[in-house]
Chains A and B, each alone.
Chain A
C-alpha cells in the first residue's frame, strides 16, 4: 500500500493521430516530424492550456530522417511549445510509441511533471536508401586521395555493384542476432502453434472489415486531418481494403519464406506513415486546467523472450501485468494486440490456450485461456491500418481508451510485440460513466 501512495495517478486527457498513410513505393508527403505536427497542432489547439504549459514532450521514433535528430525536441519546437520545453526521443523498436507513454507516466507519477505530450511517429516510406560498405570505402579513398593521380587511380577502382543500395527499411525489420526477418519469426510462431494460411488470411479480412466498419460509423474519432504543403489533405486511413476476399488473399505469394511459407503481404501489417499523440496529466493538472479525462493509466509491463518468436511478446508482458495487478483474464473488458502479423496474434491466442506453454513459459498452473475475439482489436488493427513502428504503441493505447469509453467498459489491456524479442503491455481504466 505504501508503494501505491508514492505513485501519483496519471490520466489520459486527450489524444489524436494522423490518418495512417500507406507507403506507395516512394517517399510519402510527410516527414516523421510533419506527421507529428499534423497530429499535435489541433490536439493542442483544442486544449484549455497553452502548448508552453506542457512539462515535457516525449516521442517514439525508429527512423527519423537525418534532419530530425532528437525528433521529440524538433516536434516540440514546431508545435510552439517554446524554447524552454524539455523534449526527448525514445526507441524500443515496434513499441517506441508505448515506451514514450510509459516514460511520461513515470515522470508524472514521480511528480516531475504534470502535463506531458507523448506518443510516436514514423515515416516508413521515407526510410532512406544507404550506400553499401564497398561504396563508402571507395568514397573515403577518393576523398582521401591527396593529388590528382591518386584520385584518378581510385576512380579506376570503381565497380558498378558499389551502387547497389542498402534498403534501411528491410535492415530495420531484420533481427541481426538471429539473422531472421520479422516475417520469418512470424513463420516460426505459425509453425509452433499450427497456424494455417487460411486462418491468417481470415484474420486479415476481419481486420479490414473492422476498420471499414469503424470508419463508416465514424468511430475513429481520434483521427485528425493531415495537410501537406502541396495542397493535399488526408482524412482517413488509406490502407483499408473493403473489397478483399479469401480468394484474393490466397493468390498472394509468401513474402518472407518464399515458396513454402504462409506469411504474405496480405496477412502482415502494412508499411505505413503515421503519428499518434496523447496528452497525459496528473490530478493536479486535471484540476488546474479543468481537463476532461479519457482514461487512467494503471500500469505498464515489459518482458523479454526468445527473439525468434518475438511475436509472442504480448502474452509474456500482459500475463505478468495482470498478475502484478491481481487481475484475471475475465477482469479485462477489451484487448488490443498489435497486429504485426496475423500469424503472431493468432499465435498469442493459441499459446494462452496451450497448457504446456502456459506452464513452461509463463509459470501458470492452468492455461490462461482463450481471449474472446469479439473483445480483441474491435476496431481493426495494423493489418488494415499499417504499422508505423514509432506510432503503433501509442495508437493502440489511444484506441483502447476510446473503446472503453464508447462501450462504457472498465478495463483494457493494450499490448504489442517488439522486434528483437520483447513484449509490452499497458493496463488502462475507464473513469467516466460506466455500464451496469
Chain B
C-alpha cells in the first residue's frame, strides 16, 4: 500500500479501509492544497477497487476530526481565478468520494468544521460522537461562505430551514443535535463510535434523505418565499455592505437551488470573489489576532483548582459562576448571605442555559460555594477581589488576604480604575498583585485585561494569563495605567457622544450612525447599558489623568437616579429591560459625519495608548477593542482602520474636527509618530 505524508491507510479484518487524517507537523487537522491532493490520489486508487467493502475517514489525531480549511491560505491566492480553481478542485475531490461505488463513512470525534464538514457531507454516511463533537459551517465568520459544496449539500440533506440557517449563522452543533437535524446518521458515545462506523459499511442501509417537506423548501416557489423571509431576518442582524457573505450565499441558493452541477460552480465562483473582499481579509486578520491571544502563556503549566472571589456583586458573582462553569472549585465571599444569594441565582440561570442537562447543572452548582466567612482564602490558588471601587477598602482586604493566602496563590484585583501600584502599597510582597479585569456581562465578553503593575512579577502575570485562558477568555496583557486599554479608549468616545447630545443631535441618530459603522450598539445605548453611574465614576476617575470634562448632563442624570437600563431610564426609557423605541427621529447631520467624529476620537486615544505603551503593539490595541467592545471586526480594529484609510489623511481630518470644536490642537500628538514608536 502506498504511503502518504498526511494520511495513514489501514485495512481491518472486515476488509474496510480506514483512512486516517494525520496532518504532518500539526497538532490539529486542517485541509490545504497538499493534504487535498493526497486525498485525491487515495480516492483515485479506489475508483475501480473491488478489494474493500468500504472506506472510513477518521482522524489520526488525539482530538478533533478536521477543524476546517487552513485559514492562512485564504490571503495567499494570487487572484480570484486561482481561488476559484482551488475551490473547484476541492469540490471535485469530494464529488469523487461521493460517487465511489463502495460505501463511505466519516467518523467524527471532536471538531468537524467548515471544509471538514464539507468533506464529511461528501461521504455516504456520517457517525459522530454525541456530546463533545462540534459540527458546522462557520465560514461566514471569516467573511466567506462554504466553497466545497457545503452550501449545496447541507440544505439538500436536511432542507433549507435548518440547513441555510446553519450556514447563515455559522452556528455549530454537537453530535446529538446534528443527528436530530439529520446530517449525521448516528450520534453515539465514544465507546460505540467505531462499531457504528463499521455498521454503516457492513450493512449499508439506504442513505439519509431529506423528508418530503424538507425537500420542498429547496424547490420554487417555496425557495423564493423562504429566501425573502431569511433575507429580512438577516438584515435585522447585519448589513450586506458590512458582511456580504451570508447575503451572497442566500442569493446563490435562491437563484440556482441545490440540484445538478450548477450550484457547485456558482458556489465556488462566489466564494472565490469573497476572498478578495475587505471583510474577509479583516476577519481573517481578526482570527489570527485571536489565535495570538489564545497562544499567550502557553508554556505556563499553572492549573488553578480553587478560585476564591471576594465581592458577590454583578461582576464578582458572574466571575465566580464562570469559573465554576469552567470546572474550577469556587468559594464566593461577601459580607452576608443576603449579598451572595442573588449571585447563586444568576449562576443557576447561567448553568441552566449553558449546560442544559440537570446533572451537569448540579455539578457546576456544587462547585460554587457561598463563603461569607472567607474560609476559601486559605486554600485558593487564585483570589480575585471584585468589591466596590474604593482604594482603602481594597487595601484593607488585600492586607488580610495576603496574611492568610497560600504563598504561591495569585492575588488579583478586578478593579477597572484604581492603579495597582496604589493598591499594592500595603502588601508585604507587592509583586504578587496582578489585575484580572473582566468586562460586563462576564459570560458574554471574551476579553479579559491582565494588568501588570510596575511591581508585578512576570511569573505572576504569566500565571494570570494562563488562568484567563483556562476560563476560555482572551487575555490582553496591559500596563497598569488609568483606564487600562478598553475603558480608556471607550471613554472619550462616550464623552463625545454626550457632547453631540448637548449639541442637539438625537440619541437615536447617534446610535444609528455607529451601528451603521458596524458597532454592536451605539454609544448612547452602550452608556445606558453599562450604567450611567458606572460611566460617571470612570469618567470622573479618568478626568484626573486625561484632562477631560465631565458632561453636566451625566452628573445631573445620576443625581436624579436615572442610571440607564437598570433603573428603567437613562438617555432612553426602558420597559421590562427593553429600550422603548421612538420612530421617525432624524437629523440634518449626515450619519457618516457623526460616525467619523466619534470614531476619530477613539482612534486618537488608541494611538495615545500605543505611544504610552499600554499594550505592546497596534495589533493588541485592535484585538482589545474588537474583543472588548465589539469594535466593528470587519474593519479590523481602530489602528488597522486608520492605517487602511491612511493615517495622515485621517489625522488631518481629526485636527480639523478639533479646530471646528474650538479645541487647542497644538497639544495633539501626531499618530504617525506613535506607529513608529511601536
Contacts and interface: CB of A to CB of B under 8 A. Distances in A.
Interface string A39-72: 0011001100010000000000000000000000
A175 B365 CA distance: 39
A4 interface: no
A284 B342 CA distance: 42
Given A41-B369, A50-B379, A225-B370, 14 more contacts: A42-B370, A42-B375, A45-B369, A78-B366, A80-B366, A80-B367, A225-B337, A227-B337, A227-B341, A227-B344, A230-B348, A231-B342, A233-B338, A233-B340
Contacts of B342: 231
Contacts of B369: 41-42, 45
Interface in B350-386: 362, 365-367, 369-373, 375-376, 379
A235 B337 contact: yes
A330 interface: no
When A and B form their complex, which 10 residue pairs have the shortest distance between CB atoms, in order from nearest?
A231-B345, A233-B341, A229-B348, A45-B375, A225-B337, A46-B375, A233-B337, A41-B369, A78-B366, A227-B344
Contacts of A37: 366
Contact of B331 (A45, A50, A228, A230): A45
B375 A227 contact: no
B6 interface: no
Nearest to B351: A229
Contact of B329 (A42, A46, A80, A228): A80
A232 interface: yes
A231 B346 CA distance: 8
Contact of A229 (B365, B371, B375): B365
Interface string A222-250: 00010111111101000000000000000
A329 B192 CA distance: 68
Contacts of B345: 229-231
Contacts of A230: 345, 348
Interface of A: 37, 41-42, 45-46, 50, 78-80, 225, 227-233, 235
A79 B362 CA distance: 11
A50 B375 CA distance: 12
Contacts of A235: 337
Contact of A225 (B329, B367, B372, B375): B372
Interface of B: 329, 331, 337-338, 340-342, 344-345, 348, 362, 365-367, 369-373, 375-376, 379
Contacts of A50: 379
A365 B376 CA distance: 57
Given A45-B331, A80-B329, A227 B362 contact: no
A412 to B, nearest CB: 27
Nearest to A50: B379
A45 B338 contact: no
A235 B369 CA distance: 16
A116 to B, nearest CB: 21
A45 B371 contact: yes
Contacts of A42: 369-371, 373, 375
Contacts of B329: 80
Nearest to B339: A233
Contacts of A227: 337, 340-341, 344, 370
11 contacts: A37-B366, A42-B369, A42-B375, A45-B331, A46-B373, A78-B362, A227-B344, A229-B344, A230-B345, A231-B342, A235-B337
A78 B370 CA distance: 15
Contacts of A80: 329, 366-367
A90 to B, nearest CB: 23
Nearest to B342: A231
A45 B342 CA distance: 21
Nearest to A43: B375
Contacts of A225: 337, 370, 372
Contacts of A231: 341-342, 344-345, 348
Contacts of B331: 45
A178 B373 CA distance: 50
A233 B370 CA distance: 11
A399 to B, nearest CB: 21
A232 B365 CA distance: 14
Contacts of A228: 344
A227 B345 CA distance: 9
Contacts of A233: 337-338, 340-341, 344
B370 to A, nearest CB: 5
Given A229-B365, A231-B344, A45 B337 contact: no
A228 B340 CA distance: 11
Contacts of B372: 225
A37 B338 CA distance: 19
Most chain B Cβ neighbours within 10 Å, of A79, A80, A227: A227
A232 B341 contact: yes
Contacts of B338: 233
Contacts of B375: 42, 45-46
Contacts of B348: 229-231
A81 to B, nearest CB: 11
A428 B367 CA distance: 35
A80 B364 CA distance: 11
Contacts of B370: 42, 225, 227
> Which of B329, B340, B345, B376 has the most chain A CB atoms inside 10 A of its CB?
B345
Nearest to A48: B378
Contacts of B362: 78
A80 B367 CA distance: 8
A228 B366 CA distance: 11
A395 B341 CA distance: 25
Contacts of A229: 344-345, 348, 365
A41 B370 CA distance: 9
Nearest to A232: B341
A34 B222 CA distance: 53
A46 B344 CA distance: 20
B309 to A, nearest CB: 14
A42 B379 CA distance: 13
A379 B109 CA distance: 60
Nearest to B362: A78
Nearest to B352: A229
A225 B337 CA distance: 7
A227 B372 CA distance: 12
Nearest to B345: A231
A232 B338 CA distance: 8
A392 B367 CA distance: 27
A297 to B, nearest CB: 25
A232 B342 CA distance: 8
Given A227-B344, A233-B337, A235-B337, A45 B376 contact: yes
A37 B365 CA distance: 11
Contacts of B337: 225, 227, 233, 235
Contacts of B379: 45, 50
Nearest to B338: A233
A46 B331 CA distance: 11
A380 B76 CA distance: 81
Interface centre among A41, A80, A232 (most CB of B within 10 A): A41
B289 to A, nearest CB: 38
A217 B632 CA distance: 60
A37 B370 CA distance: 12
Contacts of A79: 366
Nearest to A229: B348
A323 B379 CA distance: 46
A40 to B, nearest CB: 10
- Greatest chain B CB density within 10 A among A225, A228, A229, A232 is at A229
B499 to A, nearest CB: 41
Nearest to A51: B329
Nearest to B367: A80
Contacts of B344: 227-229, 231, 233
Contacts of B341: 227, 231-233
A230 B343 CA distance: 10
A232 B348 CA distance: 12
A50 B406 CA distance: 14
Contacts of A41: 366, 369
A229 B370 CA distance: 12
